[in-house]
Amino acid sequence: MTTPTSRTRLSPQARRAQLLELGARLFATRSVEEISIDVLAEEAGVSRGLLYHYFGSKQDFRLAVIRHAVEHLVEQTAPPAEGEPLERLLTSLGVYVDYVLDNLTLYRSLVRAAAGGTDELRALHDEGRFALTDRIFREDAQGEILTDTPQARLVVRGWSAMAEEMVLTWADDPSVMTRDELLSVLALSLPALVDLT
């Protein structure tokens, strides 16, 4: 597939971002092992040399693609600045659920690659989870949902793994509960779990 990207003049930064987007799309249909600079060069219609210039190596390319996807997810799911903490959490979770539904194969592939991959990939997964959950503490500074203690941090980490698992399982069979019911369980479970510590 040759896309117009091979002919358009873009700044190096914009071109790099575009190649990362293309890389993310590759993730949606191929296993991590199959994603290479060669495949991207073919799909994007650009030279391998240019890709090596931007990304250095196959490993660095994969890492850059996943980092880009993680940053995109964290950005997309930023909760609204105003509102009740629980309302803001619900809104943020809603965007997360929709993101997973819209990018199901990609997201599943990223989670798998991160969980089973190299130390660097796992660190990236952890960073992503940390960015998503740390935000909850920062935006709930008044402690309306939870107070920031080591115990609460441990519980929120577990809650985050639960949310990931529940959303991915639910996406396979959304007849189990409505999207609103799922969001409600996820949002309300956070204070309920922290209350147990």
> Cβ 159 to a copy of itself, closest distance in Å?
6
Residue 29 binds to a copy of itself (criterion: CB under 8 A): no
**Helix or strand (DSSP H, E) at 17:** helix 12-29
d(CA 127, CA 67) in angstroms, rounded, equals 10
Print burial letters for 123-162: b (CB count within 10 Å at least 16), e (below 16): ebbebbbeebbebbbebbeeeebbeeeeebbebbeebbee
Which residue, 67 or 153, has its beta carbon nearer to a copy of itself? 153
Q: Which of 56, 112, 143, 179 touches a copy of itself (CB under 8 A)? A: 112
Stretch that binds a copy of itself, among 47-55, 70-78, 91-99, 165-173 (CB under 8 A): 165-173
Nearer Cβ to a copy of itself (6/151): 151
Which of 162, 171, 179, 183 lies at the binding interface for a copy of itself (CB under 8 A)?
162
Residue window 141-160: x/- pattern of binding to a copy of itself, with contact defined by CB under 8 A: ---------xx-xxx-xxxx
Burial 9-44 (b: 16+ CB within 10 A, else e): eeeeeebbebbbebbbbbbeeeebeebbbeebbeeb
Segment near a copy of itself (CB under 8 A); pick from 20-28, 51-59, 97-105, 163-171: 163-171
**Two structure tokens written together for 180:** 């609103």
The span of 4-12, 67-75, 136-144, 166-174 binding a copy of itself (CB under 8 A) equals 166-174
Q: Is residue 164 within the footprint of a copy of itself (CB under 8 A)?
A: yes
**Angstrom distances, CA of residue 120 to CA of 37, 60, 113, 127:** 19, 10, 11, 10
Find the largest Cα–Cα distance for the chain: 58
Name the residue nearer to a copy of itself (CB basis): 22 or 155.
155
The binding site for a copy of itself (CB under 8 A) comprises 111-117, 122, 150-151, 153-155, 157-166, 169-170, 176-177, 181, 184-185, 188-189, 192-193, 196-197
